[in-house]
Chain A
Amino acid sequence: MSDQARILKFQIFRYNPLKQGDKPRMVTYEVTEAPGMTIFIALNDIRENQDPSLQFDFVCRAGICGSCGMVVNGRPDLACRTLTSKFPEGEIKLLPLPGFELIGDLSVNTGKFMRAMSERVESWIHDIKADEVNYDRLEERMDPEVADQIYELERCVECGCCISACATKRMRPDFLSAVGFMRLARYALDPRDKRTDEEFYEIMGDDDGVFGCMTLLGCEDYCPKDLPHQTQIAYLRRKMVQVR
C-alpha cells in the first residue's frame, strides 16, 4: 500500500423519479482513496460530504444480505464487498441494477420482485403435516449429505445480479429467471417438500419458465455467491422434459 492516496473518480447514475423535472444523468464525484476502501465506504463519504441526496442501499455491508447489487464498471456485483483498489485506473462507474423498478439513483426495488418470485414458485415446504409436527419428539431424520446439498442451493441472497445479467429476462418481462430456478431446484431436492414433478411443471414448464432459458449463463458468471446455475438449470430442464 503506497501512502500516496489516489483520487478516485466516481461516475454515478443520478435520477430521482419522485422529484419533479429531474432527469437521468451521470454525475462525477472525486473521493480520496483510503486503505481498504470499499464502494460502501466511498458512497457514504460522498453522501456525507458532497451530496446528501444520493440514494443507495446497504444493510450488512459484509456481502451477506444482498442489498447492494449494482452495476460496477459494467459488472453486476455486491458493492459493499468491492474494494476500490480493484480498479487500477481509479475510475468507477456505477449504475443501478437493470430489470428492477428504480427507486432513485442506485436504489432499486429488488424486495418487491423477490417477494413476487417467492409467491410464484411457492417458496416453502409443501407438506400439510409441517404445521402439525409434534415438536416435543425427535425431529425427522435427514441424510447429512442431503442437508448440505440443500444448503448449497439456499445460499442465494436475492441480490438480483443474475436477473440483471440475463438476456432472456430483458426480452421476456415475466421470465422466471435464475433466482427462481435456483429456488425451485432447492425445493425439488428437499425430501420434506412433497410436491410432485407435475406440480413443479405447472410453475416452470413453459417459455417463461425453464424452457425459455437460453443457457447463455450470464447468471452463473455474475452470481456473487457462485451458485451452480448451469447444473441446476440443466437438472430442472431434464426433470421437466420427462413430465412433458
Chain B
Amino acid sequence: MKVIYTDSLIIGGGLAGLRVAIAAKQRGYESIILSLIPAKRSHSAAAQGGMQASLGACVKGDGDDEDVHFGDTVKGSDWGCDQDVARMFVNTAPKAIRQFAAWGVPWSRVQGGDREVIINGQKVTITEKHEAQGLITARDFGGTKKWRTCFTSDGTGHTMLYAMDNKAIQMEIPVHERKEAIALIHEDGVCHGAVVRDLITGKLIAYVAKATTIATGGYGRLYAVSTNAVISEGIGTAIALETGIATLGNMEAVQFHPTAIVPVGILTTEGCRGDGGLLLDKDGYRFMPDYEPDKKELASRDVVSRRMTEHMRKGKGVSSRYGDHLWLDITLLGRKHIEKNLREVKEICEYFLGIDPVKEYIPVRPTQHYSMGGVRTKATGESPTLKGLFSAGEAACWDMHGFNRLGGNSVAETVVAGMIVGEYVADHCAANGLNVSTHTIQYFLKKEEKKITDLLVRDYGENPFELKAAMQKIMMDKVGIFRNGEDLAQAVEELKVLNQRARNIALRNRISSSNPELVEAIRVPKMIKLAQCVAYGAMLRTESRGAHAREDYPERNDRDWLKRTLTTWKDDAADLPEVSYENLDVMRMELAPGSRGYGVDNTVHHPDTEKREAQIDQIKKDNPGADRHEMQELLNPLTIPEKFKGKNERIGRGYK
C-alpha cells in the first residue's frame, strides 16, 4: 500500500489549482498538485480572450469599478449567483491581475493617443489618455457595460498559466503529472485525500491530506461537440458526487458559446466580436441588431447563442454537410489587427478550415463551452457537507456565475478563487491534523482496486467508447441550448439505461498499466452519472434562467425558482441522483432581482423583491453621506481574508 502524506492536496494543475497551492505554500503548508497532464497543458491555456478586472485604465473603461463589474456579473447570472461571492470576486479581481503582472504576465498595455477601432461595424477613432500610458489595457466583451477584459494579445490563458506554473516551480511545489484521482477518501463527514491512479504504471496510490481541493475544470465533454479540451470530463466533480455526502450545485447550468467553428467545435474567442466582428446569416445579413437592438453581437453569451439558434430555425442558416451554421465576419478588422490580437483565431482558421479569416467568413455555430455547475461550496470554498473538501475554478459551484457566466469572468474566477479559497485551505491546515486510520485508507484503496480487477477479468460486456458516444449524443440532442420537458424526460430515461449498462463494461485490452481503454472504463460510468445530474436537474427546473432555456417554460420564475439545485448520489446502486434545493435569499441581495434588459421581460417576480428594493432605497436615504464603499458594506457586508480588504486604486480617481 503506497501512501503519500501532505498538508494540502490539490487535484488539478490549471489556473485554479496552481493558485490554491501557491496560497497554501505561502502560508507554510506543504502542497502537492495532481494532474492528468503537465500543468502547463491544462485547459486554462486555451483561454484566448481575456480576464475581467475593473481597472478602468483604457478610455472605454473610464468610470469602471467594482460596482459596475458586480452589476454586470449579477445580471449576467440572471440573478442566479451568490451575491456575497460575486462581491468578493469583483473586489479582489483588480488585485489578482496586478499581482499577476508582477509575477510576469505580459498584459497588453495602454498606448496613449489616437487609435482606430471597430465599434458597431464602423471605424471609430478613440483617444487613449496619455496619463494611462503603460497601464494594463482592456477590450470589449459581451454583457459588460465597460471595456473591462484585460488580455495579452491573443494568448491570455497561455501567459497566465505559464506565469502561474512558473511561480509554482519557483516555490518548489511538486506537480505529480499523469496521475488521476479516481475516488475521495473520507470518514465521518471529513475528507482525507484521494485514491489516485498512476496513468503510466497503473499503480494505485493513496494521497492523504488535511485539506483536499478539487480544481479539475469543467465537464464539457459530456457533450459530443464542445470547445473544451478532451480531458474536460468532469472526473473531479464526479468523485465528489460519489462520496454521497458532497453536493453538486446547479449542474443543469451549461453554457453554449456562440462562435465555435463547424464542425469540430474549436472556439473562436469572444474577442472577435468584442473587437468589432459581426454575425451574418446565409444572405450575408447582419441579424443580431433585429433581435437585440441595444447590445447586438455583444449581448450576453446565452442570449446570442439562443438568437443564433432561433435565426437558423427560421431557415436563415447556411446549410452544410455538417448541418446549418452562420458566419462570423472579422474581415472588417483588417489584417494588422487580426495578425496581432486574433492570431490564434487566424491559425485555427488556417489549420482546421483552410481559410484566411482576413478575407473569408468563418463558419460558426453555438457550442457547449462552460460548466457553471460543479462541486457546491461555501464562500470559503469548502463543501458545506463534507469537511476538508474544497473546490475552486470551473470545477466548483462557488457560485459567482449563477446560470450564465460572462466572458472573461472565468479565468478571473480561477485566480481570485485560488487566492481566497487558498487562504481558507491554509486556515484549515492550521486548525486540523492528519487524523485518519490506515484502515480507512486501505478500505478506499481496496474498493478501487477491486473495481479495476473486475474490469480486467470480465470476459464479455459493454464497450466503454460506445457508451460514452451514446451518452454524448443524448446530451447533444436532448439537453442542449433549447430544452423541453419531453426531450428531457427521454434523456433522463435513456441515461438511466446507460447507467445500468456502464456497470458491466468489459475490456479488449486487459492490462493494468498504461491503458487508454481502462482509463475510459473508469471514467465513463462517472461521466454518465454527471450527465444524469445535468439532465435530471434540467428536467425538474420548470423555468428559464440564463443558459437554461425551457421552450415550455420561457419565463424566469423568481417566485418558485430563485434557488440553487443541489444534487447528491447517496446510494451507489440507485439509478438517479437525489435533488434538493437551496433558496437564494432576496432580502440579503445587494442587487434585488430585476430585468437583464434582453428581449421581453416576462419574469415572474418573487414576493420579496419589492420589499428588498424598498429596503435598499431606505438604506440609501438613511445614509446620504455614505460613499460607495460604505454603501456596499451596508448592503452586502463581506467576510473576506484581511489581506484582500484594501481599496483598489485607479488612474485619475485614486481610491475613490
Binding site for B on A (CB under 8 A): 16, 18-19, 35-36, 38, 47-48, 51-55, 57-67, 81-83, 103-104, 107, 110-112, 114-115, 118-119, 122-125, 127, 129-130, 133, 135-144, 147-148, 150-151, 154-155, 157-158, 190, 192-193
B136 proximity list for chain A (CB < 8 A): 139
Report the tally of A-B residue pairs with Cβ distances under 8 A: 202
The A contact surface, by secondary structure, is loop
Min CB gap A118→B, angstroms: 5
A129 proximity list for chain B (CB < 8 A): 102
List 18 additional A-B contacts (Cβ < 8 Å) besides A18-B513, A47-B516: A18-B514, A51-B509, A52-B507, A59-B42, A63-B347, A64-B46, A65-B43, A104-B514, A114-B38, A115-B38, A136-B655, A138-B98, A139-B135, A141-B133, A148-B153, A151-B159, A154-B106, A155-B158
Let me know if B102 and A130 touch, CB within 8 A: yes
Question: Among B45, B106, B108, B175, which residue has its beta carbon within 8 angstroms of that of A115?
Answer: B175
**6 tightest A-B CB contacts, nearest first:** A111-B38, A141-B134, A52-B517, A136-B646, A144-B109, A135-B95
Query: Which A residue sits closest to B104, measured CB to CB?
Result: A125
Binding site for A on B (CB under 8 A): 37-38, 40-43, 45-46, 94-99, 101-104, 106-111, 133-137, 152-153, 155, 158-159, 162, 165-167, 169-170, 175, 177-178, 200-201, 229-231, 263-264, 266-267, 321, 340, 344, 347-348, 351-354, 465, 507-509, 511, 513-517, 520, 646-651, 655
Query: Which B residue sits closest to A47, measured CB to CB?
Result: B516
A118 proximity list for chain B (CB < 8 A): 165-166, 169
Min CB gap A195→B, angstroms: 13
Let me know if B169 and A115 touch, CB within 8 A: yes
State in angstroms the CA–CA spacing of A63 and B53 once bound together: 28
B42 proximity list for chain A (CB < 8 A): 59, 65
Let me know if A133 and B98 touch, CB within 8 A: yes
Min CB gap B368→A, angstroms: 14
Question: Among A57, A130, A135, A141, which residue has its beta carbon within 8 angstroms of that of B37?
Answer: A57
Q: Of residues A38, A67, A83, A147, which shows the largest number of chain B Cβ atoms within 10 Å of its Cβ? A: A147
State in angstroms the CA–CA spacing of A19 and B511 once bound together: 8
Question: Among B37, B516, B651, which residue has its beta carbon within 8 angstroms of that of A55?
Answer: B516
State in angstroms the CA–CA spacing of A135 and B648 once bound together: 8
A138 proximity list for chain B (CB < 8 A): 98, 135, 649-651
Query: Which B residue sits closest to A16, measured CB to CB?
Result: B514
Min CB gap B249→A, angstroms: 27
Min CB gap B644→A, angstroms: 9
Query: Which A residue sits closest to B419, measured CB to CB?
Result: A135
Query: Which A residue sits closest to B510, measured CB to CB?
Result: A53
Let me know if A62 and B515 touch, CB within 8 A: no
Let me know if A151 and B153 touch, CB within 8 A: yes
Let me know if A112 and B177 touch, CB within 8 A: yes
Min CB gap B595→A, angstroms: 34
State in angstroms the CA–CA spacing of A139 and B102 once bound together: 8
A36-B352, A63-B351 as given contacts; A144 in contact with B169, CB under 8 Å: no
A53-B516, A67-B41, A144-B109 as given contacts; A192 in contact with B649, CB under 8 Å: no
State in angstroms the CA–CA spacing of A36 and B322 once bound together: 11
Let me know if B351 and A64 touch, CB within 8 A: no
- Listed by A's residue number, 19 A-B pairs whose Cβ atoms lie within 8 Å are A53-B517, A59-B42, A59-B43, A59-B230, A62-B267, A64-B158, A83-B351, A103-B178, A107-B514, A111-B178, A124-B104, A124-B169, A130-B102, A136-B649, A140-B102, A144-B108, A144-B109, A144-B111, A190-B104
Let me know if B647 and A136 touch, CB within 8 A: yes
Let me know if B107 and A124 touch, CB within 8 A: no
Question: Among B40, B43, B465, B513, which residue has its beta carbon within 8 angstroms of that of A52?
Answer: B465
Min CB gap A33→B, angstroms: 14
B106 proximity list for chain A (CB < 8 A): 142, 147-148, 150-151, 154, 190
Min CB gap A186→B, angstroms: 9
State in angstroms the CA–CA spacing of A151 and B151 once bound together: 11
Let me know if B102 and A133 touch, CB within 8 A: yes
State in angstroms the CA–CA spacing of A18 and B153 once bound together: 43
A114 proximity list for chain B (CB < 8 A): 38, 40
State in angstroms the CA–CA spacing of A182 and B178 once bound together: 26
Query: Which B residue sits closest to A35, measured CB to CB?
Result: B321
Min CB gap B533→A, angstroms: 25
Min CB gap B641→A, angstroms: 13
Let me know if A111 and B177 touch, CB within 8 A: yes
B177 proximity list for chain A (CB < 8 A): 111-112
Let me know if B264 and A36 touch, CB within 8 A: yes
Let me know if A135 and B513 touch, CB within 8 A: no
Query: Which A residue sits closest to B109, measured CB to CB?
Result: A144
